[in-house]
Structures are given as C-alpha cells and as structure tokens.
Structure 1
Amino acid sequence: MTQHKIEEFLDLLRDHWLKNQDQNLTQLLQKLADAAGCEQPLADIADDTLFYQLKMGETEKSEMIPGIAKDCEEDFKTALLKARGVIE
C-alpha cells in the first residue's frame, strides 16, 4: 500500500472508529468485512475491500462511486468528444 493510501485509510478508519468507540480494532474490521459480504477469515480479506467499505459503506446502494462520478457525462455526445480530446 502506498503512503498516500495508508494515510487515507487511517483517516477513514479514525472517523468510523469514533462512531463505534465501544469496539476494538479487530471487531471494527470484522464488522466492516461482514458489511462488505466477506465470508473468509479477516486475515484473508483484501485491503481494498475494507478501504471500499470504509469509503462507500454508508452511502446509498444506487449512489455512483466517486471516482467514476467525476468522469460521468449526462450527454453521450459530450462524453465521446471529451474521450477523443476534441473538447475538455
């Protein structure tokens, strides 16, 4: 994991942990894994799964992922022109 990703993960984890102060770290991570639908042991769960759950766990199921939403265009023609570099 890169330094930037570790810092962002810790920031997200801190915010989530402050909301669940009655749990220890292992319980909190297991709760995140369960919410993500993981059935394997905590040690086998990918960092990205926990990262995604921290980032998106409290959003609506229909809400678009922020990384995708920033590139989303309402109009297909505009999206196509941007993709081809005709407009910015």
Structure 2
Amino acid sequence: MSCHRIDELLELLTPVWQKNQQLNLAEMLQKLANEAGFDKSLNELTDDVLIYHLKMQPLQNNEMIPGIEKDFVEDYDFKKALLKARGFTDENTD
C-alpha cells in the first residue's frame, strides 16, 4: 500500500476510532469489516474496502456516491447520447 493510501486511510479512520477508543486496532478493523458486509477473514480485508466504507458511512441512503456525482446528468437520454457518439445528428433521430 502506498503512502498516500495509508494517509487517506488514517485520515478517514481517525474520527471513527476516536468514537470507539475502547477498541484495539484489530477489533476496530473487524467492526468496520462487519459494517461493510465483508464476510471473509480479516487478513483478506483490503484497504479499498475500508476506504470505501469509511467514505460512504456518513452519507444518507439517498445521497450520491462520491465520484459518481460529478458525472451525473439529470434526465440523461442514453439513446440520444449513443446516436450522437456514432455521428448521427439530432435531425436524424426523429
């Protein structure tokens, strides 16, 4: 795991761990794995699972997933976008 991933994980983990100071590191990781629905052994838990879970944890169920929000288009018409990408103009789609 690269240094920036470690820094990101520690930044995300710090506030959660401060709320659960009675837990040691292994217990904290197991708690997060359980919350994330990770059902394999703890040694198979990846930093990606932890980072994703810690980023998603504070969001409400109806909030947009971080990273997807920037690409979201309201009332997106896939058919028109596909025709446009293939070189058809709006006049040819009617």
Question: Structure 2 length as normaliser, TM-score?
Answer: 0.72
Superposed displacement of residue 61, structure 1: 2.4
Q: In the TM superposition, what are the counterparts of 1:19-58 in structure 2 within 5 Å?
A: 19-58=19-58
CA distance in 2, matches of 1:66, 1:6: 19
CA distance in 2, matches of 1:21, 1:57: 18
Superposed displacement of residue 75, structure 1: 4.7
Superposed displacement of residue 5, structure 1: 2.0
CA distance in 1, matches of 2:25, 2:64: 29
Quick one: percent identity of the two aligned structures? 48
1:4 aligns with 2:8: no
Question: Structure 1 length as normaliser, TM-score?
Answer: 0.76
Any unmatched runs of 5+ in structure 1? none
The structure that has the greater radius of gyration is 2
Structure 2 SS opposite 1:17: helix
Any unmatched runs of 5+ in structure 2? 86-94
Number of residue pairs aligned between Structure 1 and Structure 2? 79
